A and B are shown apart, each in its own frame.
Chain A
Amino acid sequence: MTVYLIRRLMQSVLVVWVMSLIVFLGVFAIGDPVEILIAPDADQIERERAIIALGLDKPLWEQYFIFVQNALRGDLGRSFVFNEPALRLILQRMPATLELAITATLFAVVIGIPLGLLAGLKPNAWYSRTIMAGSILGFSLPSFWVGLMLIMVFAVQLGWLPSTGRGETAMLGGIQWSFLTVNGLRHLVMPALNLSFFKVSLAIRLTRSGVRETILQDYVKFARAKGLSPTRVIGVHVLKNIMIPVVTVMGLELGSTIAFAVVTESVFAWPGMGKLIIDSIYVLDRPVIVAYLMIIVFMFIIINLVVDLTYSFLDPRVRLGESKA
């Protein structure tokens, strides 16, 4: 297990390194770094001084070295717009995004797995066909479009839910959360639902195909031959086997959920890191863009690691295989 962990960690470090190289080349070498890093209203002398101060006269490899050094110290540059360290700016917005993404994942599991189970157990029933048709929609509809429709129906036409912002928040562990207040929850529901739309479909499909495969297994028939109630056969014997792939994928998807929050946050004006990155792209606040990218890469690597470990925990066969390896 330890060997496995170390190997996985080394892979992760490698990916971070590769990504830092790509980001560096993309942002610092393709664009004009002077334009990016120096305030546009600076005069010629200031520019010269800044170029030397920033080390832009040095060869590219040395610049990269400095960039990595700073990054390792947690310094990813300062935002032009907010004149704050980019990293701090992003970390401030992160809880809002995490709150949204985790709620969406929760929705996906809570809505998707029961629906998938239903569709898998009675594949020819009308409601199963409806569920599956719905999941095709969930896969194919662009999420911003779904968000617009949600706003149009629930905010504009019916006036049930607010369409923008986080609403009232309450402090927990030094961070502001929306889910702690009723008003905040009302603000959270629609964006989270919107963000979960794709994941619900995914959970439905995974669960359904899992059910279809599992109920044909001998051990399910054996469980029935033992005289277990259908509830127990499905709830324990079938579901526990399905949960493994579904949980894995849902966990893996948390990263992509955070990434897709960019769209949802833009539609619902949710003040998370996704909204920040879009705003930063508009005004070309490149240090923020770089910082965001590096943080996302980092986050992805951690999520992948956690999911791998969860997987080995959930499936005893994997656990054994790894300890032998």
Chain B
Amino acid sequence: MTPPPAEGTIVAKPAATPAPDSEVQAETAPAAVRVETPLRRFIVDFCDSPLALFGLAVFAVIAFIAIFAPWISPQNPYDLAQLDIMDGRLEPGSQSMDGKTFYLGTDDQGRDMMSGIFYGLRISLLVGAGSALIALLVGTTLGLTAAFFGGRVDSVIMRIVDLQLSFPTILVALMILAILGKGIANVVLALVIVQWAYYARTVRGSALVERRREYIEAAQCLALPNRRILFRHLLPNCLPPLIVVGTMQVAHSISLEATLSFLGVGVPITEPSLGLLIANGFEYMLSGKYWISFYPGIALLVTIVSINLVGDHLRDVLNPRLQK
């Protein structure tokens, strides 16, 4: 097997400090006195693991590629005018009819795989991160509501959560898409429905602990509006577990989207995500034309693993039991 050049481009820049990190640093900078804020300690702890930093750097590169795909891709894979069917299924490194090099080969339509992967990353990240974010908003709101109001509200919401979580994600998503049909919006909807319960359960769990603390009582005594107590007092204190779950869920939803698209019930063929690219190349793989499936697969792998490396370390750093 040839070493995947796709990874090479990513590995090339590990030294560059990842963008998200420096943003966080900038936020703490105004504090002239070097007090140990939770954020600063978190950053110090996080930088403890070279592996997690590497994951973050890799993810930054991937996010960059996804965002700037139209500007850095050699070709627009959606523009049929740029494709030549004569370039179909070329091996990685071959030349096109008009002399361009296809570093990662081409698919059956003569599409440059590298461009396809760049655009596919865009769709995958958009769907994955987008649905995780919406699910986070929905789940957090419902989880906080359940914890704060308790009683019947709590039991209704948590029954639904329990019911939802007792079924595997893939099954629920499959059923929703079976009813609604393909399409990016439908995939996002399905992923949100599948995921909100995780956030709701996480937030409720930590909010229940926080709710008994005295500062919430104090806020209630001050007759602050519920909304303010919920989001300004309760929520910030539930953030650490939420960040961990959120990170993991982004990876999970990217993976789930890829699976659904691979099964042919996800995104439409006009806007292929990584999963669909892999599915398209599947039939050629048995005849030895591995690259049509293989390289999108590597891109997917690197994306998911890098997020998981970050998430795994976040869990260690933010684990309240270890912070003593």
Contact = CB atoms under 8 A, between A and B. Distances in A.
Nearest to B308: A140
A149 B297 contact: yes
Given A139-B308, A263-B263, A300-B166, A30 B179 contact: yes
Interface string B263-302: 1110000000001001000100110101001100100110
Contacts of A277: 174
B19 interface: no
Nearest to A144: B262
A233 interface: no
Interface string B228-268: 00000000000000000000000100011011001111000
Interface in B25-81: none
A151 B175 CA distance: 28
Interface residues of A, number: 41
A145 interface: yes
Contacts of A142: 255-256, 258-259, 262, 275, 300, 304
Say what secondary structure dominates the interface of chain B: helix
Nearest to A256: B168
Contacts of A262: 170-171, 174, 263
A151 B259 contact: no
Contact of A140 (B265, B290, B304): B304
Contacts of B290: 152, 156
Interface in A236-267: 255-256, 259-260, 262-263, 266-267
Given A140-B305, A259-B170, 6 more contacts: A136-B305, A144-B259, A256-B168, A260-B168, A266-B262, A293-B175
A137 interface: yes
A296 interface: yes
Interface residues of B, number: 39
B2 to A, nearest CB: 12
Interface string A113-151: 000000000000000000000001101111111001101
A178 interface: no
A144 B274 CA distance: 12
A109 B129 CA distance: 33
Interface string B165-200: 011101100110111000000000000000000000
A18, A136, A281, A289 interface centre (most CB from chain B within 10 Å): A281
A31 interface: yes
Interface in B82-105: none
B163 A18 contact: yes
Contact of B278 (A27, A144, A157, A259): A144
A136 B308 contact: yes
Contacts of B170: 259-260, 262-263
A26 B255 contact: no
A155 interface: yes
A148 B167 contact: no
Contacts of B288: 156
B312 interface: yes
